Structure 1
Amino acid sequence: MAVPHHLRPEDRADFEETLRLALVRTGQRDLKEQALADADVIIAASGTEYAAYVALRRDASRTPDAQSTALAALAVLTPIVSATSAAFLLLAGYVLQLADVSASLADSLVTAGWVLGVVAVLSTLLAVAALVRTAVRDRRGPASPAEVEQARLEWKRALLERGLVPYLSGSGDNSGRQAAS
């Protein structure tokens, strides 16, 4: 899972809320602007949780695109249309052969029927393979809002404990050393 290199704009409010909590916890109220400027550095400490949260949020909002919808329709319709056409052409061709009417037309209809039968079988196999691949890939389904909220809370906890509090405590120590010098 790739760790984001920067805070996404939609997560800025959560970062600022967690920063306010950390400022109260550490007593470093004067470092707010510095912490906001260093948001990308601070968020790196909670990068794994943030990446999981962003991925779940993206997964929850995932909708099928027009191309995949069109392909799904094609995968369903091709076997049906080709099998129906094959059955009709084979029936018509064999009836014409039995009736001894125009042998070339009857042979052409039978040949076209068998070709469409092969197309029906192959397209059915492709559709089943695509269905299995999709089922394996999306076995879990989209993330639920509760899962997204849980990931958000885990990120905010990691941001507070591993990012903001150590950052603010370290900055407080540095400002104390600078004042003593």
Structure 2
Amino acid sequence: MHMNVAPHLLTEDRSEYERILDDALRNAYAHPDLAEIGKRLTAGQLRTMALNATALITAAAAVEYDHFVKIREEVRSPSGTSVMDAVLTADGDGASGGPGAGLVAIVTVLAPVLAGPAALIFLLVGAVLKVLAPTLTFADTLLTAGWFFAAVAAAGLFCAAVGLLLTALRNRSTEVAASDPPHREADDELFRAREAWRRALLERGILPFLRDALAAAGPAVPPAVPPPRTDRIPKIGYSGPNFSSPNEGSAGTRPRYASPDFSSPDFTGPEFGASERRPD
């Protein structure tokens, strides 16, 4: 399929687009203008945005992609002929052949395709009728027709095989010995076209999109920090008792305690007692 523009990727190239995008996000540190990845937008968010904008990003490298697809198609089918073409050219090569040869080739190709299913149907129906009604002559007619179409299909397959063999032998005889250099040259051209598309997609598509997405996100906003908790016990409508230390309050109201006045008993020594002892 040849495209003048590439508004979107082919299915087989979407994985390559995702790989280039992942490499760009993984190596974002190499680009100073992508240093805000992870602060304003994460790599996952940018990847999702880029996948949603695939058509917009790939349009920046549409010319390179168109050239790459064209070269790839030429490499895949450089001058290849299909099986139909091989059979059509087996009976005549233009000089010795003609309309008759082309007609014979067409019949040779179509005979197995048409005669095979017909033979199967006739043989199956004829066999069923033969089992159900052995004396029915129509069953024998169907079986005969089925074997006829089977023979036609076999003959067509044989002719097609012979034509393919003759074509292969003729192409081998005219094969150029040094056919590898053109193939290598085509592979090199395909490689250069692929690399040009990858480079254009990265430099003109993916990186500008990532820069624009980061710029549109605005400055990084620090996460909100909740205020510290000053009281872990919630107030439920009452307050605790007002406890105060014994030293608080007025000094006049403080009770004062005095120690009892203990004195020794009225007791004198022996000498004092003897001097004042009265005579009996």
- TM-score normalised per structure 2: 0.38
Does residue 153 (structure 1) correspond to residue 155 (structure 2)? The answer is no
Q: CA deviation at 1:69?
A: 3.8
Q: Which one-letter code corresponds to 2:17 in the other structure? A: F
Q: CA deviation at 1:79?
A: 2.4
Give the aligned CA root-mean-square deviation in angstroms: 2.7
Equivalence for 2:82: 65
Gaps of 5+ in 2: 29-33, 38-42, 99-181, 222-280
Does residue 45 (structure 1) correspond to residue 60 (structure 2)? The answer is yes
Equivalence for 2:70: 55
Q: How many residues align?
A: 120
Structural mapping, 1:15-164, within 5 Å = 15-23=17-25, 24-25=27-28, 26-27=34-35, 28=37, 29=43, 30-62=45-77, 63-70=80-87, 72-73=89-90, 76=93, 78-80=94-96, 144-164=186-206
Query: What is the CA–CA distance in structure 2 between the aligned matches of 1:75 and 1:168, rounded to whole Å?
Result: 61
Gaps of 5+ in 1: 83-140
Q: CA deviation at 1:12?
A: 1.4
Q: CA deviation at 1:147?
A: 1.6
Q: CA deviation at 1:34?
A: 0.9
Query: What is the CA–CA distance in structure 2 between the aligned matches of 1:70 and 1:48, rounded to whole Å?
Result: 39
Give the match's secondary structure for 2:7: coil
Query: What is the CA–CA distance in structure 2 between the aligned matches of 1:18 and 1:79, rounded to whole Å?
Result: 53
Equivalence for 2:108: none
Give the match's secondary structure for 1:144: helix
Query: What is the CA–CA distance in structure 2 between the aligned matches of 1:145 and 1:157, rounded to whole Å?
Result: 18
- TM-score normalised per structure 1: 0.57
Does residue 172 (structure 1) correspond to residue 189 (structure 2)? The answer is no
Q: 2:9 aligned to 2, 7, 10, which one? A: 7
* Paired-residue identity, %: 31
Q: Is the 8 A contact 2:60 2:201 kept in 1?
A: yes
Query: What is the CA–CA distance in structure 2 between the aligned matches of 1:168 and 1:45, rounded to whole Å?
Result: 14
Give the match's secondary structure for 1:165: helix
Which is helix-richer, 1 or 2?
A: 1
Q: Is the 8 A contact 2:20 2:198 kept in 1?
A: yes
Q: Is the 8 A contact 2:57 2:209 kept in 1?
A: yes
Q: CA deviation at 1:66?
A: 4.2
Query: What is the CA–CA distance in structure 2 between the aligned matches of 1:151 and 1:167, rounded to whole Å?
Result: 23
Q: CA deviation at 1:61?
A: 0.7
Name the stretch that deviates more: 21-30 or 153-162.
21-30
Q: CA deviation at 1:68?
A: 4.2
